[in-house]
């Protein structure tokens, strides 16, 4: 049995990860800014009769709150085996449609939320000389994704942070992985630019994203990929297979992938701005 924390655990990828962990017998703290949602997920997982789920209210932009939760979990159980820094939001729109508010919210949640999780978990794992930190980035952290540059920038940063930390942590018993999924059918896509100035992509972006990128992967299938990648201690967990193909294409021919991105941006601009 392992002791795990999953941020953004009330829905989507986080909920699927928490479900996989509890189903195999682990004790999981389901942490989310949506406390009722986290409690609903934990209550449901506790009916599985296997592991245990505990709900916790957590705003990942609050570094002190993150540190307190991680330390409390460690103190209660004597160790902290797995941390999934997964909470995030979607930002969509062309650069000229976005404001500094969009940038700041993306940085605060998608990047600093991960930084806060790492800063809280890593010292604990260093002392116990064990543990695995798993940060959720995106395929947008490996590719140029237009119509969402703040999102893309923060996810690239999470990839870089994770791989560099992995190099540092390798000799001290701590493992680090970063998850880079393609488009996954989660509530994140149904709430683009939450509480922020609107762009043509605000609100439910499923239709527009599907037009640009094709189909979606399910959180449950991604969670299986993540569990397999964690078990194998993969540095980069890229899924689905179509995402891995695009990533390989980027490495082999960056110019081709950039041209595809340019085409997508041009089509979006024509459709929404007539130019």
List residues with catalytic annotation: 151
> What is the sign of the dihedral through the CA atoms of 76, 119, 156 and 170?
negative
- Each as own residue / partner, the long-range contacts of residues 100-108 (CB below 8 Å, 24 or more positions apart, any chain) are 101/196, 101/197, 102/150, 102/193, 102/196, 102/197, 103/150, 105/150, 105/195, 105/196, 106/150, 106/151, 106/153, 106/154, 107/150, 107/154, 108/61
Eight-class DSSP state of 182: -
E strand segments, 58-152:
82-85, 132-136
**Alpha-carbon distances, residue 56 vs 23, 69, 184, 240 (angstroms):** 19, 8, 24, 30
């Amino acid at each position: 049995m392992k002791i795990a924390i999953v941020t953004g655990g009330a829905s989507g990828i986080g909920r699927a990860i928490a479900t996989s962990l509890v189903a195999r017998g682990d004790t999981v703290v389901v942490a989310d800014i949506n406390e009722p949602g986290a409690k609903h997920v934990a209550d449901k997982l506790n009916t599985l009769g296997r592991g245990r789920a505990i709900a916790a209210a957590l705003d990942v932009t609050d570094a002190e709150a993150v540190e307190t939760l991680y330390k409390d979990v460690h103190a209660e159980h004597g160790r902290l085996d797995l941390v999934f820094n997964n909470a995030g939001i979607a930002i969509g729109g062309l650069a000229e449609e976005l404001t500094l508010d969009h940038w700041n919210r993306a940085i605060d949640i998608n990047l600093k939320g991960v930084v806060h999780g790492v800063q809280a978990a890593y010292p604990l794992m260093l002392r116990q000389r064990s543990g695995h930190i798993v940060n959720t980035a995106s395929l947008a952290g490996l590719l140029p994704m237009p119509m969402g540059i703040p999102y893309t920038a923060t996810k690239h940063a999470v990839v870089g942070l994770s791989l560099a930390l992995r190099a540092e942590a390798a000799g001290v018993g701590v493992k680090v992985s970063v998850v880079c999924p393609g488009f996954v059918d989660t509530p994140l896509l149904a709430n683009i630019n939450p509480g922020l100035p609107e762009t043509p992509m605000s609100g439910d972006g499923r239709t527009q994203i599907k037009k640009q990128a094709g189909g979606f992967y399910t959180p449950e299938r991604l969670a299986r990929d993540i569990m397999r990648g964690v078990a194998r201690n993969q540095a980069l967990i890229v899924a689905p297979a179509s995402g891995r193909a695009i990533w390989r294409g980027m490495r082999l021919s960056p110019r081709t992938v950039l041209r595809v991105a340019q085409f997508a941006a041009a089509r979006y601009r024509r459709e929404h701005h007539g130019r």
